[in-house]
Amino acid sequence: MLLCSRKVNERYGDDANERSRAEVIACIYNYYIQNTVITFEEEPVSAQTMAVRLAEVRNASLPWLVAELDGALVGYAYANKWKVRSAYRYSVETTIYLEHGREGMGIGKRLYSELLSLLRARGMHVAIGGAALPNDASVALHEKLGNVSPSRLQAQ
């Protein structure tokens, strides 16, 4: 297991905390860039790039959640705008990643359930979750939480 998780101070707005959080999130995400095709990215991202992405989601007034285990950040989920046209303002794309090796512990289900609950409370009508195949765990998670058919992107 790649050890990305570490304790992160809970104070939001603290620059050192935000950098630390972005470092852990980038580490979690970079495992998937380097070992799978599911991110559609080809090069690892820096903590600075991840911090910009965090800020973009927050600036859009959308949730970015983290999962912790014994005080260490081990996963994250967020929603971002689906498209920029006005008619899509109640539609979002959802994303979830867990630290490699943390699968099957119920962390993803709890994290994603909370994300969907927050989106409903904010008046979102459509939450789009995509899965590059093969990715049985992601498809199962999306279906377990009510997505009848998650978007599936499969190479031909």
Is 1 inside any structural domain? no
Report the CATH number that the domain containing residue 22 is assigned in CATH. Answer: 3.40.630.30
* Total number of domains in the chain: 1
pLDDT value for 152: 56
Which residues constitute the domain of residue 121?
15-153
Is 113 inside any structural domain? yes
Is 25 inside any structural domain? yes
Q: pLDDT (tens digit, 9 = 90+) per residue, 104-151?
A: 899 999 999 999 999 999 999 999 888 887 788 888 888 888 776 655
Dist. CA 62–CA 53, nearest whole Å: 12
Is 7 inside any structural domain? no
Q: pLDDT (tens digit, 9 = 90+) per residue, 77-96?
A: 999 999 989 999 999 999 99
* 69 phi and psi angles, rounded to 5 deg: -130, 120
Q: Global pTM?
A: 0.86
Is 64 inside any structural domain? yes
Residue ranges in the chain assigned as alpha helix (H): 15-35, 47-59, 107-121, 136-144
